[in-house]
Amino acid sequence: MTYSDEIKKIRQKCFLSQEAFARELAVSFSTINRWENGKVRPNLLAMKKLKEFCEVNHIDFNELENEWVQKGKDE
């Protein structure tokens, strides 16, 4: 699975729209959309917010983190 798939999976586990997920992470809707479509990769600050969101909602963050790191190595 790609990091974009993992982000979408996290959002869907909480039954959130892209807009609601964006509000939770304090980013724009278009940012969430670009992440989920694989157009851009979350920066380090965004990954920290995603990790905190996952911890609060008891969602495994490891797969997303692994994919994010791997994508960074590929670039």
Give yes or no for residue 19 having a pLDDT over 70. yes
Q: Which two tokens stand for residue 54?
A: 């996952």
* Encoded tokens for 29: 């809707």
pLDDT tens by residue, 2-12: 889 999 999 99
DSSP string covering 5-51: HHHHHHHHHTT--HHHHHHHHTS-HHHHHHHHTTSS---HHHHHHHH
Considering its fold, how many domains does the chain have in total?
A: 1
pTM for this prediction: 0.85
Of 1 and 50, more confident: 50
Range of the domain at 18: 3-74
Q: Determine the pLDDT at residue 69.
A: 84
Distance from C-alpha of 46 to C-alpha of 59, rounded to nearest angstrom? 16
What is the structure's pLDDT at 66?
86
Report how far residue 37's alpha carbon sits from residue 21's, in angstroms, rounded to the nearest whole number.
15
pLDDT (tens digit per residue) in 33-64:
999 999 999 999 999 999 999 999 999 998 88
Q: Which domain CATH number covers 67?
A: 1.10.260.40
